[in-house]
């Protein structure tokens, strides 16, 4: 929950309202995003329980499709997905902090870099330190969001909700608009899979990992629905469509301008919790690749004192800082969401493949409603990828090009690994 609940629930409400034409449609798109995420979590739970190793999706891709596919995913995660996610959240911190501190463009960029450096440093001190920071930030954000929901519903109008439930006067909705809204919603849900990266460090992963994935995703879905509808209880649809700071505007509407700063602080805390979770877990992918000889060996090293993959963590932080200088908030999240869902679909499809290929594999947890749960998720993933490709052709093409660059890089790393391990055979003297 700490990873999933970041900036999306606060930043995407306005853009989603501009795409769909009623509160019912808003609820539908957020519910569909939650159902998709739960379906993915249920499918991933079986894989995580069966293969409880550090690396998560990388491990499952290797098991199902071989080392080339695993490397392409790992390369995409290193080069785009995780760095893009961290950079996007750092950009959101700057977006919400700038009005409070009066920051200019370059000062925002400096703040973004500082945030990444800080949490990278925290997680270099080990999993225990990162976990304490993560749990503290998560507790604060959930309590704060709960209070916000109670406040908005208490001051809101049920008549306003009823009047706009079936129409908000936005002029209709098309399938492409619903698809665009769904992409934004899925970015808000993104992160449901990241806990699987630390499966090798979880006690009783066959039991704990499925519970974490399912309950965390389900509770997050409930929070998102309650908070989204609370916005419409105090603001008109036109007001929501006109801003990207819907939560701040809603609090300002019921408590006055002075209260907006408190919601901005809550949002920043929420984003920082999600950012820390990704910084904590994501380097385990690079670590697993290096241990398999498919990445720089230094990335597979562990600090003797903190037991943290320091090299992988620091490299990820430096790459994310570079990302913050390369694009806007919307460009960042569109690119990495598109690539992420290609691999989410392939990974969940591997559940079906492995059921057929390895029927006797020990599976402490089995995905419910199999095979319909993974089939539903894979079909939706395909639709999301196609929709994003059509709507954002240039960014999608660049993302695919970066992803496919992993194929020649795989050949290079295999060659270097073979050259490193190969030693000349010395002929013995009779």
In the predicted structure, residue 165 carries a pLDDT above the cut 80: no
| Mean pLDDT across 200-229 | 84
Confidence class of residue 425 from pLDDT cuts 50, 70 and 90?
very low
For residue 334, what pLDDT is reported? 58
Higher model confidence: residue 256 or residue 355?
A: 355
- The model's pLDDT over 405-422, given as tens digits with 9 standing for 90+, comes to 889 988 888 887 776 666
In the predicted structure, residue 331 carries a pLDDT above the cut 70: no
| Mean pLDDT across 209-220 | 86
In the predicted structure, residue 402 carries a pLDDT above the cut 50: yes
- The model's pLDDT over 166-199, given as tens digits with 9 standing for 90+, comes to 766 555 556 667 777 887 788 788 888 887 777 6
Any idea which of 30-44, 126-140, 222-236, 244-258 has the lowest mean pLDDT?
244-258
For residue 389, what pLDDT is reported? 79
Higher model confidence: residue 428 or residue 382?
A: 382
In the predicted structure, residue 266 carries a pLDDT above the cut 70: yes
| Mean pLDDT across 387-393 | 76
For residue 172, what pLDDT is reported? 54
For residue 421, what pLDDT is reported? 62
Cα 275 from Cα 269, distance rounded (Å) = 10
Beta strands (DSSP E) in 173-326 are none
Q: What is the homologous superfamily of the domain 8-418 according to CATH?
A: Amino acid/polyamine transporter I (1.20.1740.10)
pLDDT, mean over the chain: 83
Distance of CA 392 to the CA centre of its chain: 20
Helical (H) or strand (E) element with 310: helix 310-324
| Mean pLDDT across 128-133 | 86
Highest mean pLDDT among 116-120, 214-218, 243-247, 380-384: 116-120
In the predicted structure, residue 273 carries a pLDDT above the cut 80: yes
Cα 115 from Cα 110, distance rounded (Å) = 9
Contact (Cβ atoms closer than 8 angstroms) between residue 252 and residue 259: yes
| Mean pLDDT across 307-311 | 85
| Mean pLDDT across 238-260 | 82
Question: Which two three-digit tokens encode residue 394?
Answer: 């240039």
Cα 296 from Cα 420, distance rounded (Å) = 12
Cα 292 from Cα 152, distance rounded (Å) = 51
Cα 194 from Cα 241, distance rounded (Å) = 31
For residue 65, what pLDDT is reported? 93
For residue 350, what pLDDT is reported? 93
* Residues in Cβ contact with 272 at an 8 Å cutoff, skipping those fewer than 6 apart: 93, 115, 119, 137
In the predicted structure, residue 117 carries a pLDDT above the cut 90: yes
pTM attached to this predicted model: 0.79
- The model's pLDDT over 218-245, given as tens digits with 9 standing for 90+, comes to 899 999 999 988 898 888 888 888 887 7
For residue 351, what pLDDT is reported? 93
In the predicted structure, residue 426 carries a pLDDT above the cut 50: no
For residue 358, what pLDDT is reported? 92
């Amino acid at each position: 929950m700490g990873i999933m609940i970041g900036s999306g629930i606060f930043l995407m409400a306005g853009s989603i309202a501009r795409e769909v034409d009623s509160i019912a449609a808003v609820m539908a798109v957020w519910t569909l995003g939650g159902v998709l995420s739960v379906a993915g979590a249920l499918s991933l739970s079986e894989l995580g329980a069966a293969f409880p190793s550090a690396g998560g999706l990388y491990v499952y891709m290797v098991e199902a499709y071989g080392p080339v596919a695993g490397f392409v995913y790992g390369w995409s995660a290193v080069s785009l997905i995780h760095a893009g996610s961290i950079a996007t959240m750092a950009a959101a911190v700057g977006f919400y902090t700038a009005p409070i501190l009066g920051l200019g463009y370059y000062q925002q960029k400096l703040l973004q870099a500082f945030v990444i450096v800080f949490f990278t440093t925290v997680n270099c001190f080990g999993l225990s330190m990162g976990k304490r920071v993560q749990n503290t930030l998560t507790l604060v954000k959930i309590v704060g969001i709960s209070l916000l929901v109670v406040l908005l519903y208490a001051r809101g109008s049920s008549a306003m909700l009823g009047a706009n439930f079936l129409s908000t006067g936005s002029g209709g909705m098309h399938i492409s608009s619903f698809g665009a809204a769904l992409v934004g919603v899925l970015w808000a849900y993104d992160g449901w899979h990241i806990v699987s990266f630390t499966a090798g460090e979880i006690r009783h992963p066959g039991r704990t990992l499925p519970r974490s994935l399912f309950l965390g995703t389900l509770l997050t879905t409930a929070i998102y629905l309650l908070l989204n509808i609370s916005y419409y209880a105090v603001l008109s649809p036109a007001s929501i469509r006109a801003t990207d700071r819907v939560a701040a505007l809603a609090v300002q509407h019921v408590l006055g301008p002075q209260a907006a700063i408190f919601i901005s602080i809550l949002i920043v805390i929420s984003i920082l919790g999600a950012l820390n979770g990704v910084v904590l877990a994501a380097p385990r992918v690079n670590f697993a690749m290096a241990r398999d000889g498919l990445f720089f060996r230094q990335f597979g090293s562990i600090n003797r004192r903190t037991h943290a993959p320091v090299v992988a963590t620091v490299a990820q932080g430096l790459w994310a800082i570079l990302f913050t200088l390369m694009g806007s908030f919307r460009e960042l999240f569109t690119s990495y969401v598109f690539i992420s869902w290609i691999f989410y679909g392939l990974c969940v499809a591997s559940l079906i493949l492995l059921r057929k290929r390895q029927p006797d594999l020990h599976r402490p947890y089995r995905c419910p409603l199999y095979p319909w749960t993974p089939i539903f998720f894979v079909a939706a993933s395909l639709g999301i990828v196609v929709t994003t490709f059509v709507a954002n052709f240039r960014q999608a093409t660049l993302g695919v090009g970066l992803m496919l660059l992993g194929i020649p890089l795989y050949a290079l790393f295999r060659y270097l690994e073979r050259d490193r391990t190969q030693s000349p055979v010395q002929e013995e003297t009779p």
